[in-house]
Amino acid sequence: MQPQELIKDRLRLVNLGDVKQLVIFLLVVFLSFWRIEKERSYLWDEDLGEGSVHVVLESTPRLEEGSIKVMVKIVGGDFPEIYDKRGKLTLIATENVPSKSFIVNAKVKVKHGFVFLSANYRDIEKVIFEEPSLRERYIKRAMAKIENPEVEGLVLTYLFGESAEGLSQDIQAAFYKTGLVHMLVISGFHVGMIFMILRVGAPQPFGSIIGMLGIVLYVWLLVPHNPPVLRATVMILLFIAVKLLQGAPNSLAILLFSGSLLLLVSPEFVVSYSFWLSFWATLYIIVALRNFKKEQDIADSFLIAPAWVSLFAFLGVTPLLLTFSNTSMGSIIFSPIVGYLFFPFTAYGVLELLTFFSLPTFPLEWNGIVVLKVVEILSMLDLRLWKGMSLTAGVICLVLNALVIYLTRGFEKLIAILIFIVFLVFG
């Protein structure tokens, strides 16, 4: 094929709707960076001194060397300039916090637009007790019902988005070694699986409507509102809404529109690694499943599709991960295996959520033990990548490979592996 014919052939693969949404998304990304920098400019780097601060917890407290570290939202106190800002609180001489909301006499510093608070546990001036939320009641009920401590940690992490610290160090290490740690973080994988389980309970289109309502309630009431969860929820709602209206959903345009919407509402997501990891993984999966000839289409293959999706999800997150951490090639092989094992675990977990953990927990515990044991066995094969990559090289690799995968057909998309290796070696 002549070069001119090749270019024309590839341009036929370009969808103008995708291009429009991409342009809008890039404009929103730049706008979000501008809004973030503008907001930070109001806070000069300085030591604000010591005073009363009313904080509300926004993350699970972590115990580190005899002190508690937790993300909080400042809602009142002696420093009006930091009201409604988020900060990091270090509370020393304690292993727990008394409540989700309290007033503490803390030392306050601002650095690079972020607020840092530090105080002794004895400096808490007032504890504000609130009625436990529905999420807290669910967690308390689950902890009371589940006997196996490792499965309890898995349930709290997998279904409720709690910290993985509820799992033993060995189990956490096994998930990291296998590259399966993403399965412990509430993401599109969880939301999508819960939607699929709920939608089979009734004929269409009522099943899809039940699934949509179910994931909205699940995300709104039971899990932290992290970027991957919100992105996945918005995408599923838009995708199903288009289908119910007899339309043909464009997954890539929906992803870009969802990203734009989230950044307009929460511009701070633009500097969130979890937002970008989720975005790139989803983008690569979508473009990897496009432009297959009918006889080659793998999207409906029970065996090939999971491995294909796993491979391109790996290519979509690894360049960014290697800029600040390590990852494992094992996720390519192990994700489909453990993903299938998680399906019955999720299905029974949904039943427990629907019944407020009133069912016998034996099936959930047995399935959880199987999942954890399989991950431990798989972790014996350590395929971690330790070589880092600069942020510039990582971003160029991601953009270039996304373009290549978008403009290729079928198994030509595997060229992306070679491009990734080049950047891995020289980046």
Chain position carrying tokens 């070679």: 418
Q: Write down the pLDDT at residue 75.
A: 92
Structural contact between residues 338 and 306, judged by C-beta atoms closer than 8 angstroms: no
Q: Write down the pLDDT at residue 295.
A: 47
77 closest CA partner among 104, 43, 58 = 104
Per-position pLDDT tens, the chain of length 427: 567 777 777 777 788 889 999 999 999 999 999 988 877 666 667 888 899 999 998 877 777 777 888 889 999 999 988 888 888 999 998 878 888 899 999 999 988 778 999 999 889 999 988 788 898 899 999 999 999 999 999 999 999 988 787 788 899 999 999 999 888 888 888 888 888 888 887 788 888 889 999 999 999 999 988 899 999 999 999 999 898 887 788 999 999 999 999 999 999 899 888 899 999 999 999 999 887 655 455 555 656 788 899 999 999 999 999 988 888 999 999 999 998 899 999 999 999 999 999 999 999 999 999 999 999 999 998 888 877 889 999 999 999 999 999 999 888 899 999 999 999 988 6
Structural contact between residues 310 and 325, judged by C-beta atoms closer than 8 angstroms: no
**Phi and psi dihedrals of 73, rounded to 5?**
-110, 130
Structural contact between residues 43 and 17, judged by C-beta atoms closer than 8 angstroms: no
Q: Please give the helix or strand (H or E) that residue 284 lies within, else none.
A: helix 273-288
CATH of span 46-128: 2.40.50
Q: Please give the helix or strand (H or E) that residue 107 lies within, else none.
A: strand 101-111
Query: For residues 340-366, b (16+ Cβ closer than 10 Å) or e, as one string?
Result: ebbeebbbbbbebbeeebeeebebbbe
pTM over 0.85: yes
Distance in angstroms (rounded) separating the CA atoms of residues 193 and 88:
33
Q: Please give the helix or strand (H or E) that residue 393 lies within, else none.
A: helix 391-406
- End-to-end, the C-alpha distance of the chain in Å comes to 32
Domain locations along the chain = 46-128, 137-426
Fill in the DSSP letter of residue 381. Answer: S
Q: How far are the Cα atoms of 28, 79, 320 from residue 272, in angstroms, in the given order?
A: 15, 26, 12
Cis peptide before 319 (omega within 30 of 0): no
Angle, helices 206-221 vs 188-199, to 10°: value is 140
